[in-house]
Amino acid sequence: MHSHAELLRSRLVRYADLRGCRNAFVDSRTPGSEQKENFTIIGPGVAENPDQYVHVAIPHGFNIGAARQPPRCLNSQHSHETAEVFVVLAGTWAFRSGDRAQDGEVVLGPGGVISLPTHMFRGFENIGADVGFMFAVLGGDDPGRVTWAPYVFEAARNYGLVLLEGGRLIDTTLGQTVPPGAREVRPTSQADVDRLRRYRSDELRACVRAAADMAALDTSVLARHAHGALYESPIIGHASAQEGLPDAPLGGGHGFHLRRLTLEPGAAVPPHTRLEEEVLLAFSGGFRVLVGEESLTLGSGDVFSVPKQMERQFQNVSAAPAVVYVVRGGNHPAPPRWRD
């Protein structure tokens, strides 16, 4: 039986403690992509390397991962079966559509969010001067497998990587061989490419919300209950009259909601509970979470999953605004329940 403190620690992932993987995918040796790091923070994600470390294995109804890339590092063109949403923590990122990144492009900086459509080839590059980091939210407990653009398989073969059906990656440079009876993934064909959706730059721009363009609402239920100034910004999710929030600009139906909370210095949210999984992605400032008798202060890049129906309080303990991005399960999450 885990203690209360141990339970909370098991759901806390500090940025400094992230365990990444540099060969999580079949493109990990392709020139331009070989320096990327992938992280699975909550749930198994879509990693193809069975050695990829999962920080929090508890099913949430969605997955949270991350990518860290040095300047000019690419993630190859691929497609997903479920929602894929990125929250930029650091760096300047170009997102490109098309099997050869030829269709469209948008650029996003810190605090920005992009919700990429399913069944569309996408890739991304850190085009800034410093190391970049992004959180990734994927829909469902099992987000399925990645469909790679044809050139990815061609390059992988040249560097000794083979992808099997079921998603397992074989590295022949390490002496690994295809197990008896196992079958290699059929490379993506031109017919497969033609079945996927195409997005131009103007269409991609509709999938983006820059930090400066996010509405900061002080009329939500959470803001009205807060002590001090709190602003809530809906980003993904349907309107909720019970929470006093309109439809989010990047739509709903993802299987999760995404909102940004900004607490001004000294602001606090009194004790309340949630019926859904609630994950806090810390962006800036000193955001303190009190769960029962336990207290955790989140720094930039830290992740904490608050247990369902466990009472929580939030406080800004810094001299600057504290900003967190909140991922909450379900298309129609319930409003908070306040202590009587």
Q: Residue 311 has what pLDDT?
A: 95
| pLDDT digit string, tens, across residues 128-142 | 999 999 999 999 999
pLDDT at 2: 59
Confidence bin at 171 (pLDDT 50/70/90): confident
* 166 pLDDT above the threshold of 80: no
Do residues 323 and 286 touch, judged by C-beta distance below 8 A?
Answer: no
Q: 3-state DSSP helix/strand/coil percent for the chain, to nearest 5?
A: 10, 40, 50
pLDDT band at 24 (very low <50, low <70, confident <90, very high): confident
Amino acid at 29: R
Going by pLDDT thresholds of 50, 70 and 90, the confidence category of residue 14 is very high
Does residue 223 have a pLDDT over 90?
Answer: yes
Cβ atoms 168, 50 nearer than 8 A: yes
Instruction: Let me know: does 30 contact 150? Beta carbons within 8 Å.
Output: no
pTM score over 0.75 = yes
Residue among 151, 173, 164, 163 nearest 32 (CA) = 151
The answer to whether the CB of 227 falls within 8 A of the CB of 270 is yes
Consecutive H or E run containing 106 = strand 104-108
Give the mean pLDDT of 223-236: 97
- Mean pLDDT over the full length of the chain: 94
Q: How far apart are CA 329 and CA 276, in angstroms?
A: 6
- Residue 254 reports pLDDT greater than 80: yes
Say how far apart CA 261 and CA 319 lie, in whole Å: 16
Q: For residue 169, is pLDDT > 90?
A: no
- In whole angstroms, give the CA distance from residue 142 to residue 60: 10
**Under a CB-based contact definition with an 8 Å cutoff, are residues 193 and 148 in contact?**
no
pLDDT at 28: 86
What integer pLDDT is reported at residue 25 of this predicted model? 86
- For residues 59-72, average pLDDT: 96
- Over residues 176-186, the mean pLDDT reads 90
**What pLDDT shows up at residue 42?**
97
Domains of the chain: 14-209 (2.60.120.10), 214-338 (2.60.120.10)
Using CB atoms within 10 Å of the CB of residue 1, give its burial: 0 to 12 exposed, 13 to 18 middle, 19+ buried: exposed
Q: Is the pLDDT of residue 1 over 70?
A: no
Asked if residue 148 lies in contact with residue 192, where contact means CB atoms within 8 angstroms, the answer is no
Q: Which residues contact 44 (CB under 8 A, 6 or more apart)?
A: 54, 57, 63, 142
Share of the chain above pLDDT 70, in %: 99
**Residue 145: band (very low, low, confident or very high) from pLDDT cuts 50, 70, 90:** confident
Between the CA of residue 232 and those of 6, 164, 218, 260, 330, what are the distances in Å? 30, 44, 7, 6, 18
Phi, psi (rounded to 5 degrees) for 103: -90, -45
Among the listed ranges 25-39, 79-93, 94-108, 195-209, which one has the minimum average pLDDT value?
A: 25-39
Cα 252 → chain centroid: 16
Q: Quick check: 29 and 170 in contact, CB under 8 A?
A: no
Tokens of 23: 């060969």
For residues 91 and 68, is the Cβ–Cβ distance under 8 A?
A: no
CA 36 to centroid of chain Cα atoms: 16
Residue 329 and residue 274 in contact, taking contact as beta carbons nearer than 8 Å: no
What are the helix (H) ranges across 110-162? 150-158
Instruction: Using pLDDT thresholds of 50, 70 and 90, give the confidence band for residue 47.
Output: confident
- Residues 57-78: what's their mean pLDDT? 95
Residue with the two structure tokens 């992004």 = 134
When pLDDT is averaged across residues 146-155 and rounded to a whole number, the result is: 91
DSSP states of 5-73: HHHHHTTEE-GGG---BSSSSTTTTSTTTTT-EEEEEES-TT---TTPPEEE-S--SEEEEEEEE-TT-
Quick one: pLDDT band at residue 89, thresholds 50, 70, 90? very high
d(CA 44, CA 58): 10
